[in-house]
Amino acid sequence: MPSLNTVNTIQTGVSSTSLNTLSTSGVITAGNTIDGVAPHGLNEFIGYVHTSLADFPSLSSWVTFASRYVSSYGGQQAEARASISFQNDTSNKRIIITYYGGSDANYNTVYTSYMSYTGYTGNINVQYNSTFSPLVLTNSGSSSYPPYGWPGNTANDSSAAYTTSRSIKPMATNYVIPTSGTVQFKWFIRTHTTGNQNTNNTQSAQHRGVNFNINFTSGSTVYSKTSGSKNIELTATKGTQQIQ
């Protein structure tokens, strides 16, 4: 921090011993104080809130690798999933981020993270992107259970509200984060063999380099933060033996 003598040297004609001089001379003049009028009064700061958006929290706990196998005998199907949801908690000025992953074989732990913001009351958006195109591979059959592998699959329901998992959600598209309910991005696969079918039925979904961006515009300034990337790899197999 510069000394008072340094301030005097940098700003010619300003005496650092006089707050009134500092508020009305040099670079601090009428027109560039908060209220546009010099001198600069402390009452101008009352109720003033700075606009900000916190960094995107870590998603290191999110399970995005899952493999599930069930025998061909019986009616049980194999499922694997990875889901992340966003809600705007306006009362606490934060975005609630919930995520889980795994299969139908066990309870999928739900994790919750928070992303705070200040000085803003309008819509806040979220979108997902990827450095690679998503891929769904099938062996004997097709992905016939929404959301068909990944959120942007065109086989999803185009008429469903974007707050549901089965709706189409193309990448690089802003979705308003709701204050009631959530906007959910879900990767999901499920086998669909009938009876005691001996033919292996495998569904595999891969989506690498997935990241999420939260953004809003206040005045002419865009506030935007992006998550780290995640690789999503899901495999579900029903048959006489597990296919690796």
Domain residue extents for the chain:
4-45, 57-239
CA of 214: how far to CAs of 88, 93, 99, 123, in Å?
11, 14, 16, 11
pLDDT of residue 206: 92
pLDDT of residue 210: 98
The encoded tokens of residue 26 equal 């040099």
Element (H, E) at 71: strand 65-71
pLDDT digits (tens, 9 = 90+) for 5-52: 544 554 455 554 555 554 455 454 444 455 555 555 655 555 556 899
Query: With b meaning 16 or more CB within 10 Å and e meaning fewer, what string describes 173-183?
Result: eebbbbeeebb
pLDDT of residue 41: 60
pLDDT of residue 28: 46
Tell me how many degrees the CA angle 124-128-132 measures, rounded to the nearest 5. Answer: 160
Q: Tell me how far apart the alpha carbons of residues 68 and 219 are, in angstroms, rounded to a whole number.
A: 49
Q: Tell me how far apart the alpha carbons of residues 60 and 33 are, in angstroms, rounded to a whole number.
A: 44
pLDDT of residue 240: 61
pLDDT digits (tens, 9 = 90+) for 69-83: 988 777 788 899 999
pLDDT of residue 22: 47
Q: Tell me how far apart the alpha carbons of residues 62 and 112 are, in angstroms, rounded to a whole number.
A: 10
Paired with 206 in beta bridges are: 135, 233
The encoded tokens of residue 63 equal 């399970």
pLDDT of residue 29: 47
pLDDT of residue 4: 47
* Global pTM value: 0.77
Helices (H) and strands (E) in the chain, counts: 2, 12
CA of 128: how far to CAs of 115, 209, 242, in Å?
16, 10, 32
Q: Contacts by 30-37 with C-beta closer than 8 Å and gap 24+?
A: none
Looking at residue 92, its amino acid is N
Paired with 22 in beta bridges are: none
Give the residue ranges of the chain where pLDDT is below 50.
4, 6-7, 10-11, 16, 22-23, 26, 28-32, 242-244
pLDDT of residue 87: 98
Instruction: Pick the closest to residue 113 from 100, 129, 104, 101 (CA basis).
Output: 100
Identify whether the C-beta of residue 196 lies closer than 8 Å to the C-beta of residue 154: no
Paired with 183 in beta bridges are: 86
